[in-house]
């Protein structure tokens, strides 16, 4: 499919200049900094690196990507928002999302006055190719959001390449949970598809939700657009420093992922004993989507014991999404659930 990036970008953005700063060229140099109205005093007095090159290099290395294909957001949430602001004209354009999927696609679309078209997943929470082809034959959607493994269902989407190949617009593959999954990352498809954006995050498997770092991968042309149009210093200096420090201890992160996956299997065994549970859906992520006889009741009972779970998705009746915690947290969950039993 012929892809023309220039036709995708909102037309007025061609004339928008980004915030100009000298800092990125002087970041490691001794200089007299009188250009940014900072205080000359204090531990955090200087603005951070606007395009954190050291962090990007490390992330590129970990993800087998090139630094020039990478852009960072204040969480991948910010990159979802920016995607709409770059490609979708308010009150005119639409996005296409899977249903159910991550709720922020729709929330950001509403905030940006962008229309939302939905592709209903089947009873196994899979996309159906015929339905997809049928929908896109009449759809004008500019951006397709695919989430794999999908939040809140937990499953990976089969044959992602088919959808990337057949969609005449930008395709965002949100891989927030990919490190927990046996599937390959779509980052390796970047050379093949100029319409592809892959989103990852340090909030899940990397254990750095508090640092708010989202990672985008795309062609150099798309990456440059995000870097130009993002807020000037969107990753704080402490987040940059701490993330780099932790990413240098990749072994510890890998051990934590392995531990979470072991706990996930144990938790699943425990959950299978709970009579109030109707179904535990297959999951490639660090959470389970679980159907209960009465999810609202279970949710309340868990809350009474200060066990927080998620009952948020409107199209998933009687389902809770429950994260895998530490061995102690999982035992606490099972204990409360068996008491309800």
Shortest Å, Cβ 207 to ligand PMP: 12
Sequence-distant (6+) residues with CB within 8 A of 176 are: 76, 102, 147, 151, 199, 200, 201, 203, 204
Q: Total number of residues binding ligand PMP (CB under 6 A)?
A: 12
- Using CA atoms, how far apart are residues 170 and 145, in angstroms rounded to an integer? 9
Return the DSSP state at 103: T
Shortest Å, Cβ 151 to ligand PMP: 4
Is residue 93 near ligand PMP by the rule CB under 6 A? no
List phi, psi (to 5°) of 91: 65, 5
SS3 101: coil
- Could you list the beta-strand ranges (E) of the chain: 70-73, 94-99, 115-120, 143-147, 170-174, 196-201, 214-217, 277-280, 287-292, 319-323
- Which residue, 93 or 174, has its beta carbon nearer to ligand PMP? 174
Is residue 8 near ligand PMP by the rule CB under 6 A? no
Q: Which residues make beta-bridge pairs with 280?
A: 290
Shortest Å, Cβ 160 to ligand PMP: 14
Sign (positive or negative) of CA dihedral 58, 156, 207, 211? positive
- Which residue, 102 or 132, has its beta carbon nearer to ligand PMP? 102
List phi, psi (to 5°) of 205: -60, -30
Give the x/- contact pattern for ligand PMP in 228-267, rule: CB under 6 A: ----------------------------------------
Is residue 48 near ligand PMP by the rule CB under 6 A? no
Shortest Å, Cβ 287 to ligand PMP: 9
- Which residue, 108 or 337, has its beta carbon nearer to ligand PMP? 108
Instruction: Tell me if 73 sits within 8 A of 214, measured CB to CB.
Output: yes
Shortest Å, Cβ 116 to ligand PMP: 16
Instruction: Tell me if 120 sits within 8 A of 131, measured CB to CB.
Output: yes
Q: Which of 48, 75, 169, 216 binds ligand PMP (CB under 6 A)?
A: 75
Is residue 125 near ligand PMP by the rule CB under 6 A? no
| Residue 240, both tokens | 């940059």
- Using CA atoms, how far apart are residues 203 and 176, in angstroms rounded to an integer? 8
Find the part of the chain contacting ligand PMP (CB under 6 A) among 2-10, 53-61, 73-81, 243-251.
73-81
Q: Which of 71, 87, 102, 217 binds ligand PMP (CB under 6 A)?
A: 102
Is residue 147 near ligand PMP by the rule CB under 6 A? yes
Shortest Å, Cβ 305 to ligand PMP: 24
How, if at all, do strands 319-323 and 287-292 pair? Answer: antiparallel
Find the part of the chain contacting ligand PMP (CB under 6 A) among 71-79, 117-125, 188-196, 330-338.
71-79
- Which residue, 144 or 176, has its beta carbon nearer to ligand PMP? 176
Is residue 76 near ligand PMP by the rule CB under 6 A? yes
Residues 158-217 touching ligand PMP, rule: CB under 6 A, are 174, 176, 201, 203, 209, 214
Burial of 34 (0-12, 13-18, 19+ CB in 10 A): exposed
Positions touching ligand PMP (CB under 6 A) are 75-77, 102, 147, 151, 174, 176, 201, 203, 209, 214
């Amino acid at each position: 499919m012929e892809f023309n990036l220039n036709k995708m970008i909102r037309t007025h953005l061609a004339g928008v200049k980004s915030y100009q700063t000298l800092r990125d060229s002087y970041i490691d140099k001794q200089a007299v900094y009188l250009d940014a109205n900072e205080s000359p005093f204090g531990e955090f007095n200087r603005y951070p690196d606007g395009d954190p090159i050291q962090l990007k290099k490390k992330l590129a290395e970990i993800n087998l990507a090139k630094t020039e294909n990478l852009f960072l957001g204040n969480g991948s949430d910010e990159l979802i928002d920016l995607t709409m602001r770059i490609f979708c004209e308010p009150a005119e354009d639409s996005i296409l999302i899977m249903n159910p999927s991550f709720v922020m696609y729709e929330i950001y679309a509403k905030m940006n006055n962008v229309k939302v078209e939905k592709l209903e997943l089947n009873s196994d929470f899979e996309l159906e190719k015929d339905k997809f082809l049928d929908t896109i034959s009449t759809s004008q959607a500019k951006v397709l959001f695919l989430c794999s493994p999908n939040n809140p269902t937990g499953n990976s989407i089969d044959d992602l390449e088919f959808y990337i190949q057949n969609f005449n617009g930008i395709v965002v593959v949100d891989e927030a949970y990919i490190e927990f999954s046996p599937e390959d990352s779509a980052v390796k498809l970047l050379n093949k598809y100029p319409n592809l954006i892959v989103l990852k995050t340090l909030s899940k498997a990397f254990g750095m939700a508090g640092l708010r770092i989202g990672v985008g991968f795309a062609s150099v042309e798309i990456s440059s657009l995000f870097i130009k149009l993002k807020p000037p210093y969107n990753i704080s200096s402490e987040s940059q420093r701490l993330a780099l420090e932790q990413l240098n201890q990749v072994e510890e992160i890998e051990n934590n992922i392995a531990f979470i996956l072991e706990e996930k299997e144990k938790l699943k065994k425990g959950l299978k004993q709970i009579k109030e549970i109707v179904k535990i859906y297959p999951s490639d992520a660090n959470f389970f989507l679980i159907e209960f006889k009465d999810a609202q009741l279970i949710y309340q009972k868990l809350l009474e014991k200060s066990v927080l779970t998620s009952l948020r998705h409107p199209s998933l009746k009687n389902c809770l999404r429950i994260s895998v915690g530490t061995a102690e947290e999982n035992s606490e969950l099972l204990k409360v659930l068996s008491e309800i039993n």
